[in-house]
Structure 1
Amino acid sequence: MSQSRFSRAVRLVDKWLAGIVSGLCVALLGAIVVTISASVFSRFVVFHPLNFADALAKYFLQWMAFLGVGLAIRSGEHVLVDMLVVNFQQSAARALLIGINVLVSVLFATVAYYGTLNALSGLNSHDPFVFGISMAIPYFSVAAGALYALIQTNLTTWIRLQDSKLRFPPNEVTT
């Protein structure tokens, strides 16, 4: 596979994956709005509160927040130190970008690993308020978000390295 074909494939995977995660985050936000609205209606209009609504909305928010980390990385809206990269010459900036990517990737891989272990520890624990779901489901949001952030960090770095000039955000030139 040639360099330009591989680069196009990386951009396609980046766009495809971001579309799926964006859609999932929008669906989660919609579920939060519906859950909280139903809770408010049932509590103050019908006077019969939905005991599961608050915890369920928290779980949806937790998933949305952790998945949103990768989307923020993709669009350049996550906390980072980009002023270092843009103030160096191209070769030094590329080396610095790769070094930062390696460190951030190690961090996200570590969080994904320990998040998975934590989620597995919740397999036998259940939330009695939210239909008795296994606590592994909300706990796994940490590992899933870190895994997506790891993938997105590397995709974004690859796209930035392929640009003739290091731009931020990297997707401003590709739609």
Structure 2
Amino acid sequence: MISRVFDTFDRVLNWTLALIMAVMLVVITAQVFYRFVINDPLDWSEEFGRYLFVWISFLGSAAGVRYRVHLGIDLIEKLVSPTIYKGVVIVVHMLILAFLYVIVTEGFNVASVVQFQESASMHIPMSWPYLAVPVGCILMAINAVRVTVEQVWGVGALHDEEND
């Protein structure tokens, strides 16, 4: 049951990233076309592309935590016993979760401060681009807990090997 929920979570995150990247590719390609072929650049495309890139960065970081592609503590795993390594994993992930908690709370605070400010060319609330930070960090926290459970307790129900 929980495996299906996390599989769906992973699929939704991965498809969302793919969709945002595709939209960004179309927007930036259109900007290049309009700027250099038609000689009439789009006034909103650079800003929109930048905001999409911010969302890709934070959502991609959440996926990176899930698939363990960030810098890790692999060397420690080779140098210490499995029991000590499990303790190190727990401590490191608790520190990561504490850091993410601060980022999430401050991210929502900043987003609420800028909610009435409009972006320069698209005229959308600036809270939309700023929400990438807390949303991405919440997803990172969820995946950090998953990775910790899998590494420390070896719970295979949270992770299907065939999806990696």
Alignment TM-score, normalising by the size of structure 2: 0.90
CA distance in structure 2 between the aligned counterparts of 1:66 and 1:86, rounded to whole angstroms: 30
The yes-or-no answer on 1:150 pairing with 2:138 is no
* Residue 64 (str. 1) matches residue 64 (str. 2): no
* 14, 38, 43: which one aligns with 1:46: 38
Q: CA RMSD in A?
A: 1.9
Measured in 1, the distance between the counterparts of 2:39 and 2:77 equals 57
Residue 91 (structure 2) aligns with: 99
TM-superposed deviation, 1:92 = 1.5
How far 1:146 sits from its partner (Å)?
A: 0.8
CA drift at 1:122: 0.9
| Conserved 8 A contact 1:14-1:152 | no
Partner of 1:167: none
* Partner Cα distance (1:157, 1:145) in 2: 18
Q: Tell me which stretches of 4 or more aligned residues in structure 1 moved more than 6 Å.
A: none
CA distance in 1, matches of 2:159, 2:67: 7
Q: Which residue, out of 108, 122, 132, partners 1:141?
A: 132
Q: Distance between the aligned counterparts of 1:36 and 1:82, measured in 2?
A: 38
Helix, strand or coil: the match of 2:116? Answer: coil
Displacement of 1:86 after TM fit? 3.9
Q: CA offset at residue 44 of structure 1?
A: 1.5
Q: Decide whether the 8 Å contact of 1:22 with 1:71 is kept in 2.
A: yes
Count how many residue pairs are aligned between Structure 1 and Structure 2.
Answer: 161
- In 2, the alpha carbon distance for the partners of 1:37 and 1:73 equals 30
Identical residues among aligned pairs (%): 19
Distance 1:61 1:24, change over 3 A: same
DSSP-derived class of the 2:42 partner: coil
Q: What is the deviation of 1:46? A: 1.6
Query: How many Å apart are 1:161 and its aligned residue?
Result: 2.2
Task: Say if 1:59 and 1:138, in contact at 8 Å, map to a contact too.
Answer: yes
What is the deviation of 1:112?
Answer: 0.8
